[in-house]
Amino acid sequence: MTLGEFIRAAAGLKELKRAGWAEKLSMSDGESVADHSFGAAITAMILSDAMGIDSERAVKMALLHDIAESEIGDITPDSMPHDKKEKLEAEAFLRIASMLPEEMRAEYVSIWDEFCAGETPEARIVAQADKLDMALQAVTYERAGRASRAGASMFVDAASASIKDKTAGALLADITSHRKSGNGADGRENRASTV
């Protein structure tokens, strides 16, 4: 067991493209899972600090939440039954975490389990940060002309349905505020086609 093996597994996320952009928008050069994990971690940090909850734990949780994908790939919700996906992710996470020294492994497995259970304020805010980052990326692709309004809306609407916290909801409203009128960032109608 070495720290290097764990770092190499995590680094594999830099090369793994997020599957949702490819499947829903036919985008072959979308963001990587590592790009998304960074965005989710920053969002979790901001939200947890704003809400006065344990931001260190939230950031660790956000950075760990997709680690299993380095082994099993990015599986979209429509690809397989939820319980099967959860089982694959849990098994992969435990294999990857087994590379760590015992004390560190125990902490990371505890954080992973907490995220999966979704019962603590940190777990709930990280789940919402995950969706907020997805919405932000969709809006970014829309503004850049890489996604149509309808294509971006699939992701924004999915995020909106998952956001329960008032602070996270306000952040989603801020991220998507330019879309209300149907105008792009420059004030003209966004006529971008799906890539």
| Domain 3-178, classified CATH 1.10.3210.10, yes or no | yes
Predicted pLDDT at 1: 54
DSSP string computed for 98-147: TTS-HHHHHHHHHHHHHHHHT-SHHHHHHHHHHHHHHHHHHHHHHHTTSS
Residues 154-177 pLDDT 10s: 999 999 999 999 999 999 999 999
Query: Is pLDDT of 183 > 50?
Result: no
Predicted pLDDT at 169: 96
Residues 96-124 pLDDT 10s: 999 999 999 999 999 999 999 999 999 99
- What is the average per-residue pLDDT within 50-66? 97
* Residue spans per domain, the chain: 3-178
Residues 119-147 pLDDT 10s: 999 999 999 999 999 999 999 999 999 99
* pTM: predicted TM-score of the whole model, two decimal places: 0.88
Predicted pLDDT at 138: 96
Lookup: tokens for 174:
């801020």
